Structure 1
Amino acid sequence: MALPDQTVPFAAKGYAWLPDLRRRFHGRPIPMRLGGMRAVAISGPDAARFFYDERHLERRTALPEPVVSTLFGKGVHTLDDEAHKARKALFVALLMHEDGIDTLAALTGKVFDEAADGWRGGDAVSLFDETAKVLADAVTRWTGVPEDAFDRDALTADLVAMVDGFATAGPRHFRARAARRRQEKHFARLIEDARSRPPADTALSRVAHHTENGSLLDARTAAVELINIIRPTTAVTWFVTFAGHALDRWPAGRARLRAGDDEFTTAFVHELRRFYPFAPFLGARAREDLTFQRVGIPKGTMVLLDVYGQHHDPRVWPEPYEFRPERFLGRPVGAFELIPQGGGDPRTGHRCPGEQVTIAVLSTLVQRLAKLDYYLPPQDTSIDLGRIPARVRGDLEIVVP
């Protein structure tokens, strides 16, 4: 039987596509074609466990070329098995030490405070645009990139473009490709310059001098991996803007954020990452003939893990379309329940090792945003679920008196 191709429905519906389709299939795995490829869509904690079992699936050939050429580059995200573990160790060492995370979060807060001083008494500013500048400035300083190495506004624009264009075939996609080519060349020169100096205790130097199988990474690959630290941090911009949206729609939590309630802040951050749309789904490819929930998955089939659908599934999250940070108070977060940056163990698997950086930086900025005296002028603050990645229309303008 010919499988229906879902390319057009996906393009039309965006984030709502898989959840709508899965409701029609009563939550069962859905065989289909997407972009002409055989695929099957799955969702739920058991599906996430299946998806992140490396005996079942591989990522090396699964990422579409347009996503590699915009969002990820040809680095750790395109590796599997021992090669992935060896490269992943570099990111774990750089990103998962508490001192480094705390240092980046504190630096981000300082840069945000300096920027907010400049917003006071002026015209409306875009929270999205200004936060992107703050994050790009903070993370490049933290990685040891010399301040005179870049035009910071141009770098910020390129980092945002890489994220903003990964899931579209239009002008945003071509801007993203151009941005990645431009910055990979620029960062490769920076890597070569760092190799001309003795190793130092910075992310830039450690990536530049990182060896695998006794050899340095080629400069372009090292550049990709350095960007893979800087670009995801800049992507926190989306969630800071969503935080502004949440504080406007559900202001009840503002007082606890203002008071510096760290437990509530962490819960608020988790709820932001669950409730608001970023990654619609993730993909991997079957290594061999498989079966999941009595549905056959032939070798080579693309397996789609419905992230947005899982985060809005009432079987996993009661009242999923309500923004309720309290759902995360007093309970552990399961490794396969909340999966905005993947599932499983970030140290050894394909879950993003920068997730703790995202949580720490976002927590810092959410508290500062709650404490900031500002108001929203009249504007459209709707979110178009047909656009991937979704953004608040108008990028949330604020006025700081």
Structure 2
Amino acid sequence: MNQSRPPLADSSLALLAKAYTWLPDRRRRTDAPLVRTRLMGQHAVALHGPEAVRFFYDERHVERATALPGPVLSTLFGHGAVHTLDGQAHRGRKEMFLSLLTGPKAVAELVDCVTAVWDEAVRSWAERPVVLFDEASRILTQGVCRWVGIPLDDADSTARDMVAMVDGFATPGPRHWRARRARARSEAWLGDLVEEVRAGKATAPTGSALDAIVRHRDADGRLLDPRTAAVELLNVIRPTVAVCWFVAYAGHALRTPGVRDRLREDDPAYAVAFAHELRRFYPFAPFLGGRAVTDLEWRGEPIPSGTLILLDLYGQNHDPDLWDEPYAFAPQRFVGRPPHRDQLVPQGGGDRATGHRCPGEDITVALLAALGPRLARLEYDVPEQDLRIPLNRMPTRVRSGFVIHAVPTRVPVAAH
């Protein structure tokens, strides 16, 4: 290994200040095939591109179990979650999620639950301002809990907790502590529910996600303890509710000339393309992290064992070498041209059956392909508001939440 390099400055403060643009800016300033830096005192390298995705998701190269910081586990994923596992333990737990979240039947049933709540909720939007981000979070919470088989007493507070866990995972300060409190409340609520189901005091609908997680046994043959079962229930509910970020982005995107009219047409292929372009164009996860399991080499550059390895998601999704006009919102780029697995990576890359790619990706796409046209077919005004999306905030969002007004009481019938 090259020992002659000067000490690297720690970039933790720069990351907090620049957020999504930090890695792309660093990459543009170097001719090397990777970025070298330090984060929280640790040596780190950053990669991007389809080949880097395959390198990153190869378990012979990178493991995730020790790379997720404690604050992220205490807010976003939960301690003991599938994201913290590697090897056979990860594959066994991941198989449960794949059985729940993939396949046309499962996806269609969840989308039906959410769209039923949406269509009912729209009837109450007439003649009042609606913050699309907030409304979508409540709708998604009600829909996914109905699908999971969880009784829901207070959709508003549950939605706020789900949003808080996502909103506060990547930043110090009040948002982070709100996220911790939200996770503690949610794990306690769902842990109690798991114990009640196992004791026969509550019912899990047969075949539901609640039923599957309550009864799941890990590779060691043991049932998940109630807290871990609660963590994994949240790893179904929370990512689904997080689609509210993209629903608000959908409102923002419909301001692009021609997009709203095209989305109003009965064109499922364009609706799916719109969903993919939302996920490519708008910022959500800036990067992913793992750790080198042995001494590695990337394009002639050494990566010592234990190095933190970052995969630049935002930079890759806006790389002009991969996308024509990457900073233009253009759903037509995906019409008739499904995205390559390791090129479009808003929710990670690699193989979702064996790696850490999000198993709920099909659900995200299907929800956005269903809700995008519904939003496009509504008649509404967009009052003056702050529509900026600050790239120095993680995770970012439309500042106003995207406010709409004057929605008619009659719900437009979706085309079939």
- What TM-score, normalized to structure 1? 0.97
Q: 1:86 aligns with which of 92, 95, 114?
A: 92
Does residue 231 (structure 1) correspond to residue 241 (structure 2)? The answer is no
The count of residues paired between Structure 1 and Structure 2 equals 397
Aligned letter for 2:39? L
The alignment partner of 2:258 has SS state of helix
Corresponding position of 1:284: 290
Corresponding position of 1:59: 64
Does residue 241 (structure 1) correspond to residue 244 (structure 2)? The answer is no
Gapped runs of 5+ residues in structure 2? 1-5, 408-416
User: How many angstroms does 1:26 deviate by?
Assistant: 3.6
Q: 2:160 aligns with which of 157, 160, 164?
A: 157
Q: Superposition RMSD on alpha carbons, in Å?
A: 1.1
Q: How many Å separate the matches in 1 of 2:334 and 2:350?
A: 18
Aligned letter for 1:35? M
Q: How many Å separate the matches in 2 of 1:296 and 1:400?
A: 59
User: How many angstroms does 1:5 deviate by?
Assistant: 1.2
Does residue 135 (structure 1) correspond to residue 140 (structure 2)? The answer is yes
The alignment partner of 1:393 has SS state of coil
Q: Deviations over 1:294-335 (max 9, x none)?
A: 111100000000100001110011110111111112223211
Q: 2:357 aligns with which of 337, 346, 351?
A: 351
Q: How many Å separate the matches in 2 of 1:27 and 1:49?
A: 19
Corresponding position of 1:214: 221
Q: Deviations over 1:253-281 (max 9, x none)?
A: 21222123110111111111001000000
The alignment partner of 1:22 has SS state of helix
Aligned letter for 1:234? V
Does residue 13 (structure 1) correspond to residue 18 (structure 2)? The answer is yes
Q: Deviations over 1:43-84 (max 9, x none)?
A: 111111111111100000000111111000021010000000
Corresponding position of 1:23: 28
**4+ long deviations beyond 3 Å:** none
- 1 or 2, which has the higher helix percentage? 1
Aligned letter for 2:325? E
Identity of aligned residues (%): 53
Query: Bigger shift: 26-35 or 284-293?
Result: 26-35
The alignment partner of 1:332 has SS state of coil
Q: How many Å separate the matches in 1 of 2:267 and 2:353?
A: 28
The alignment partner of 2:389 has SS state of coil
Corresponding position of 1:182: 185
- The answer as to whether partners of 1:60 and 1:78 remain within 8 angstroms in 2 is yes
Aligned letter for 2:273? A
Aligned letter for 1:170? G
Q: How many Å separate the matches in 2 of 1:375 and 1:45?
A: 41
Q: How many Å separate the matches in 2 of 1:397 and 1:11?
A: 28
Q: How many Å separate the matches in 2 of 1:3 and 1:46?
A: 26
Corresponding position of 1:194: 197
Q: Deviations over 1:18-48 (max 9, x none)?
A: 1011001146201110111110011111111
Q: How many Å separate the matches in 2 of 1:259 and 1:318?
A: 25
- The answer as to whether partners of 1:194 and 1:204 remain within 8 angstroms in 2 is no
Q: Deviations over 1:229-248 (max 9, x none)?
A: 00000000000000100102
Q: 2:8 aligns with which of 3, 14, 34?
A: 3
Gapped runs of 5+ residues in structure 1? none
- The answer as to whether partners of 1:267 and 1:325 remain within 8 angstroms in 2 is yes
Q: How does 1:287-306 map to 2 (within 5 A)?
A: 287-306=293-312
Corresponding position of 1:386: 392
Q: How many Å separate the matches in 2 of 1:151 and 1:265?
A: 32
Corresponding position of 2:176: 173
User: How many angstroms does 1:214 deviate by?
Assistant: 2.2
Q: 1:73 aligns with which of 78, 82, 92?
A: 78
Corresponding position of 2:42: 37
